[in-house]
Structure 1
Amino acid sequence: MNKVVRGSFELMKQLNVSAVLKVIRDNGSLSRADVAKITGLTPASVTNITKMLIEDEYLVECKVGQSSGGRPPIMLELNPNARYVIGISIGVGMIDVVITNLSAEIILKKSIEINEERYDYDFVFKELVKLINEVIECSKIEKEKILGAGVALHGIVNSRTGMSIYSPYYGWKEINIKEALENELNLGVYVDNDVRAMALGESWFGITKDISNFVTLNISNGIGAGIIINNKPYYGVDFSAGEIGHIVVEGDGDKCNCGNYGCLETVASNNNITKKAIKLIKQGTNSVLKELKADINQLTIEDISEAAKLEDELAISIIKEAARYIGIAITNLINILNPTSIVVVGEIFENTFYAIETLNEIVKNRGMKLSSENVRIIKSMLGRDAAVVGATTLVIQEIFNGMSIN
């Protein structure tokens, strides 16, 4: 058999294995006959593939199905604990590392804060590797059962090469995170922008599993959007699609870390929401926040959300103002992309309805009638784990989309 034919044959076997895994995952449990019917593979091929997958523990025989006249079929289902995946989120000032099973269920999670003065790459990478090894050790999961690691990274990321093209908060440029981590961990590593990874995680394991066109919007210390079109992430020509945080919403606004002025991040990111609250309180504005925090300089976005829940006027007005700016940016996205849903992630959406209520109001009043009437603005099911679940999905999708398994 020549090299080309042999390579094609191996790929076909891998694709067939993934096809079987995917159809069983998507349907919950199936008989071998059902698998053959849905995939178009021969019964003999399905028997051989499922035998191998059972031996490798990816599939289990779960129950006896209903007979249609002959011997009752044995049903097969995915064993989510057959293998495990590491998920890494490198966000603004925070690194989260988890280990999950193949259903993206978190087994263990550890986090560290990265002080703004220590954003240099060597320090961050050293702390990251230490945290990953700690998670693996504490989980007591054998390294051989870990399929790979996914990284959801702040900034502009080339998902094909795993390169951090530009990370504005960390000041990184042209750093190959994929290569560095693969050398360190001896595992396959997949890297993407954090909000694109969130959108992928929502598509596989979150609230949009049955939605093929949607946008995930993340409001944190940075602001970004992950765009899914026909069930696939949209990257743009230079992998910078979705940088909604740098849409100018205030013509004479403050300078943004990107170098421009009046970007959405300067008025609606967590850091800037808290800065505004601190400023107004110091100027004498009454607020329950004074009682929630002894040192007002240590105020957090969680404090402001909690105060809004307690009907504090200052907190409510600040959240609504940020949401109005976000709503303007979302309206532009809706008018251009006409998605089914906007999935919102962030602390300002977690404990209070004021932010989503304001978004809906702005979209209804400013958007084109047809697209704004039909779009749904919904809260993420994954919440604060959206980035790490998205990171694990970068690896998990490879198993079900035609890659080889171990």
Structure 2
Amino acid sequence: MARHTARDVRSENRFEVLHALFDLGPSSRQELARHTGLSQATVTTLVGGFLAEGVLDVAAVERNAVGRPYERLTINPDRGRVVGVDVAETYVDATVYDLALGVLGRHEAALDEHQNDQAYVVDGIVAAIEAALDAGGTDRDRIVGVGVSMPGHVHHDAGVSVFAPNWNWHDVHIEELLAERLRLPVYVDNPLKAAILSEMWFGAGRAVDSLAVVNIGTGAGAGIAIEGTLVRGITNNAGEWGHTLLMMDGRPCHCGRHGCVEAYVGAPGLETTLAEIDPAHPALGQPGQRDLVASVAAGLAAGDPVLRELVRRTGRYLAAALGDLVNLLNVPVVTLTGWLPGMLAPWLVPAVRDELPRHVLPGSLPGLTVEVSEVPGNAVGLGMAAFTLEQFLARLGLVSEARTRPRPGAEAAQPIG
């Protein structure tokens, strides 16, 4: 295991201070020290670096009844702009944020789910980003970085889409292609990593240190945090829960296997289940996946008995797959995110909760909650914006790698040398 240098520790600590400001809002150095577990002397030194680079501002100077006045610090939103982009098989969603991750402009555009040409996808991403910049009235020279989430296995250090099964992409240098078109710093990662980071910073993870975020759309996957640390795996491929086995010799999956979770709970799997129940159902005649799921939601609201059976079966599939995830990780919270749960949550979540006790071991069931994510806006886009902020601070020499939560005794725990 590589040893941490003094610079590594300082870099991680700097990011903890910034994260604390997102948690707390305008804060004194003392409050930041208490929240992060760092010494006040360390916080004072780190804050000095942020102030020198214009990343922090003094929001107010306050005075106690006794003692010296103290400064209340805040993130400077005008230090720059970051763009977070969620790319899926059916859409591109681009959002422009200030440096405090406040939304300035957003644009979502459809992608033809039957096209997987690299040039087509890159054109769609660039067009969505430009439209979001226009929507927010943002000049390109204010942008300090663009974070783009790509489906499938992404090598984030190299900016390569290693394998996107629903597009049949292999080793596409997507970061390089986008950087050439945008002429801006680009960072590429996987939506599961972005979703868990945003959940830890702005959602259920503010109350717990271990949880899973299950993202469902065309495909399915799980972002994982254990004891405050984002789980990437050796090759950044952790969380491919959608490609774990639900049914032996089951439905074919785009990854090449049969019986994967994704083939039953993703949008194409939902369509297959409905065709098994009622091959002539009118919802099956929709032109795209989102149209299909919107039609299912409308039918459920109207009390369609066929669609109630569809949700019952899909709830069983999802509960069984979530049971395996919980039994493996023993996390207390699972949140659901993505456009499919967003449309079907009023019916799908109760179906899952009813079925889940049949699949979770007694030792992991007490206190377990399954809920729709409450992260505002697009959780993947927000997570990519946070990663991009990390990259910007790294270029300033202020951080190394993001952590979702500070470690107790972080200063003493790491060897320095």
Cα shift at 1:275: 4.5
Alignment match of 1:106 (pick from 103, 107, 110) = 103
Alignment of 1:1-80 (within 5 A): 18=15, 21-32=18-29, 39-41=39-41, 45=45, 48-49=48-49, 51-53=51-53, 56=54, 58-80=55-77
Aligned partners of 2:378 and 2:223: how far apart in 1? 15
Q: Is the radius of gyration larger for structure 1 or structure 2?
A: 1
> Among 195, 214, 217, which residue is 2:214 paired with?
217
Shift of the alpha carbon at 1:338? 0.5
**8 Å Cα contact 1:308/1:352 also seen in 2:** no
3-state SS, counterpart of residue 166 of structure 2: coil
SS in 1 for 2:235: coil
State how far apart, in whole Å, the 2-side matches of 1:43 and 1:96 are: 36
Instruction: Tell me how far apart the structure 1 counterparts of residues 47 and 116 of structure 2 sit (CA, whole Å).
Output: 53
1:390 to 383, 387, 406: 383
User: Structure 1 residues 254 and 187 mapped into 2: Cα distance closer, same or farther (>3 Å)?
Assistant: same
Q: Which amino acid aligns with 1:259?
A: G
CA deviations over 1:151-205 (Å, ceiling 9, x no partner)? 1110011122221110111221111222332333333322211122111111112
Does the residue aligned with 1:30 lie in a helix, a strand or coil? coil
| Structure 1 stretch displaced more, 323-332 or 230-239 | 230-239
CA distance in 1, matches of 2:79, 2:16: 17
Larger CA deviation: 33-42 vs 192-201: 33-42
Trace 1:308-327 onto structure 2 (pairs within 5 A). 308-327=300-319
CA contact (8 A) 2:191 2:380 kept: yes
The answer (yes or no) to whether the contact 1:150–1:395 under 8 Å persists in 2 is yes
Three-state SS of the structure 2 residue aligned to 1:118 is: coil
The 5 A counterparts of 1:372-387 are: 372-382=365-375, 385-387=378-380
Q: Kindly tell me: are residues 352 and 377 of structure 1, through their superposed partners in 2, closer, same or farther at Cα, counting changes over 3 Å?
A: closer
2:211–2:332 CA contact under 8 A, matched in 1 = yes
Deviations 1:87-117 (A, max 9, x none): 1111112111111123433221212222244
Mapped partners of 1:369, 1:220: distance in 2: 30
Matched, 1:229 2:226: yes
**CA distance in 1 between partners of 2:287 and 2:330 (Å):** 41
The CA RMSD measured in Å over matched residues stands at 3.2
Return the offset for 1:148. 0.8
Offset, 1:306: 2.8
Q: Distance in 1 between matches of 2:100 and 2:47?
A: 24
Q: 2:142 aligns with which of 131, 142, 145?
A: 145
1:195-214 equivalences under 5 Å are 195-214=192-211
SS at match of 2:77: coil
> Aligned letter for 1:41?
A
1:41 shift after superposition: 2.8
Residue 344 of structure 1: how far off its partner (Å) = 0.7
Higher RCO, 1 vs 2 (CA within 8 Å, ≥6 residues apart): 2
Q: TM-score, normalised by structure 1?
A: 0.83
Name the counterpart of 1:345: 337
Matches of 2:6 and 2:358, distance apart in 1: 57
The aligned amino acid for 1:110 is H
Q: Distance in 2 between matches of 1:80 and 1:94?
A: 28
Counterpart-to-counterpart distance in 2, 1:330 and 1:12: 36
The 8 Å contact of residues 264 and 270 in structure 2, kept in 1 or not, is answered as yes
Compared CA separation, residues 324 and 279, structure 1 to 2 (3 A): closer
Check whether the contact 2:51–2:57 (CA below 8 A) recurs between aligned residues.
no
Aligned length: 389
Post-superposition offset of 1:324: 0.8
**Aligned AA (1:161):** A
CA distance in 1, matches of 2:246, 2:47: 59
Q: Look up the equivalent residue of 2:41 and give its one-letter code.
A: L
1:331 aligns with 2:323: yes
Letter in 1 for 2:331: P
Q: Counterpart of 2:269?
A: 272
CA distance in 2, matches of 1:12, 1:247: 36
Asked whether the equivalents of residues 204 and 393 of structure 1 are also in contact (C-alpha less than 8 Å), the reply is no
Deviates more, 1:153-162 or 1:18-27: 18-27
Contact between 1:31 and 1:65, CA under 8 Å: does it hold in 2? no
Q: Can you list the C-alpha shifts for 1:363-383, whole angstroms capped at 9, x where unaligned?
A: 212211011223211211137
Superposition deviation, residue 310 in structure 1: 3.0
The verdict on how the C-alpha distance between 1:379 and 1:47 changes in structure 2, with shifts beyond 3 A counting, is: closer
User: Percent identity over the alignment?
Assistant: 22
The letter for the 2-side match of 1:337 is L
Cα distance in 1 for partners of 2:331, 2:178 equals 35
**Greater shift after overlay, 138-147 or 150-159?**
138-147
Q: In the superposition, relative to structure 1, how do residues 384 and 271 fare at CA in structure 2: closer, same or farther (>3 Å)?
A: farther
SS of equivalent to 1:242: coil
User: Aligned partners of 2:44, 2:383: CA distance in 1, in Å?
Assistant: 36
Is 2:295 the counterpart of 1:303? yes
**Structure 2 residue ranges without an equivalent (≥5):** 399-417
Number of the residue aligned with 2:352? 359
Q: Deviations over 1:304-334 (max 9, x none)?
A: 1232233322222111211211111111111
Structure-2 change in CA distance of 1:64 and 1:155 (3 Å): same
**Distance change (3 Å), C-alpha of 1:19 and 1:167:** closer
Segments of structure 1 that go 5 or more residues without pairing to the other structure are 1-7
Question: Aligned partners of 2:309 and 2:210: how far apart in 1?
Answer: 32
Instruction: Identify which of 121, 128, 133 aligns with 2:130.
Output: 133
